[in-house]
Amino acid sequence: MEDLLEPLIRNINDVFDGTRARLLWLDDDPPTCTMTYSEIRDGETSAHHIHDWEHEVVIFEGEGTLVCDGKEYFVKAGDAMFIPPNVDHYTLNNGGEGVVIRRIEVNPLIAAQSGGAQNDGGQGTGQPPVIRNLSEIDQTDGPARQILGSEHGAINYTLSFRSLDPNSTAPQHSHPGEHVAFMIEGTVSLVVDGSEYNVKEGDLALVPPNAEHEWKSNSSRRAAWLVFNPL
């Protein structure tokens, strides 16, 4: 992955099968994680399972109930969730008729490499999830605002919220770990090693490790996106 000169950019609509979209998967040779977009219809649930790795999930639309080791937690649009390892869990869409839960999920590579949890749940540790809504984040406090980090129990990845106002640019930088970004609002130009790429709502953008990159406004609208970085 270190030799990759271009970012990977992929939109939900390019790979959505009616239930989920594998935005970043093993075939892409990702450095540390996968990203999946999924939809949970009215009255349905996500997979009910337990496994040795954590989930980091962000809901973009809808509301329902996250069940962890038998305890129920109300979840809604804008919620970022850290679900610890070895917790029996699933999400129920009981938000009402016609409501669809739309969400993305990031997992360490072992989740896909192992074929996922091959069970219907089990005895968990009882450790509660961490749920933080984007509305809790000070969206005026610099270009990147952390939502989930090690202080919230995160093991492998931090999750940050980033935004750009029209006619603005985020500072150019590079770092040993990759960016795994998901655009939730607007469009931006992503410049990687001098080449410019358009990133729009619903896009995954994987910026390779050690690549010089910056984010630039390219419209009259605010742009906003989420960034997962390896700890």
Tens digits of per-residue pLDDT, 177-224? 999 999 999 999 999 998 999 999 999 999 999 999 999 999 999 999
* Residue 64, in any domain of the structure: yes
Q: Dig out the tokens for 229 from the structure.
A: 């970085």
User: Does the residue 105 lie in any domain?
Assistant: yes
- The pLDDT value recorded for residue 22 is 97
Say if residue 105 is in the same domain as residue 141: no
Strand-pairing partners, residue 192, are 195, 213
Domain total in the chain: 2
DSSP state of 154: -
In-domain check, residue 1: no
Q: CATH number of the domain that 87 lies in?
A: 2.60.120.10
| Residue 94 sits in the same domain as residue 176 | no
Same domain as 32, residue 130: yes
Q: HSE-up of 41 (CA within 13 Å, CB side)? A: 3
103 and 160 housed in the same domain: no
Q: Is the residue at 177 inside a domain?
A: yes
Does residue 122 sit in helix, strand or coil?
coil
Q: What is the pLDDT of residue 1?
A: 41
pLDDT score at 143:
58
Same domain, 151 and 130: no
Which residue, 146, 113, 140, is CA-closest to 231? 146
Last residue of a domain, one of 69, 104, 134: 134
Residue 217, amino acid = S
Q: How many CB atoms lie within 10 A of CB 17?
A: 7
Query: β-strand 8-11 against 63-68: which pairing, if any?
Result: unpaired
Q: Are residues 88 and 176 in the same domain?
A: no
| Residue at a domain's end among 65, 99, 134 | 134
Within this chain, do residues 82 and 26 fall inside the same structural domain, yes or no? yes
- 222 with 151, same domain? yes
Question: Helix, strand, or coil here: 152?
Answer: helix
Q: List, in sequence order, every beta strand (DSSP E) within the chain.
A: 8-11, 20-24, 33-40, 55-61, 63-68, 71-76, 79-83, 89-92, 101-108, 130-133, 144-148, 157-164, 179-185, 187-192, 195-200, 203-207, 213-217, 223-230
Nearest 5°: the CA angle 73, 77, 78 is 95
pTM: 0.92
Q: Which amino acid is at 185?
A: E
Paired tokens of 107: 């997992």
Q: Could you tell me if 210 and 7 are in contact, meaning their C-beta atoms sit under 8 angstroms apart?
A: no
Q: Is 3 within a domain?
A: no
- For 63-97, how does the pLDDT look when each residue is reduced to its tens digit (9 = 90+)? 999 999 999 999 999 999 999 999 999 999 999 98
What local confidence, expressed as pLDDT, does residue 3 receive?
A: 52
Residue 141 reports pLDDT greater than 60: no
pLDDT tens figures, 147-168: 999 999 999 999 999 989 998 8
Q: Are residues 152 and 99 in the same domain?
A: no
Domain stops at, among 106, 134, 162 = 134
2 within some domain:
no
Note whether 15 and 108 are same-domain residues: yes
Q: CA–CA separation, 133 vs 147, rounded Å?
A: 8
| Residues 199 and 143 placed together within one structural domain of the fold | yes
Identify the domain containing residue 42 by its residue range: 8-114+121-134
Residue 107: predicted pLDDT: 97
Mean pLDDT of the chain: 93
Q: Is residue 58 part of a domain?
A: yes
Are 162 and 49 part of one and the same domain?
no
Q: What is the pLDDT of residues 94-135, one digit of tens each?
A: 999 899 999 999 999 999 999 999 999 999 999 999 999 998
CB atoms within 10 A of CB 36: 20
pLDDT band at 136 (very low <50, low <70, confident <90, very high): confident
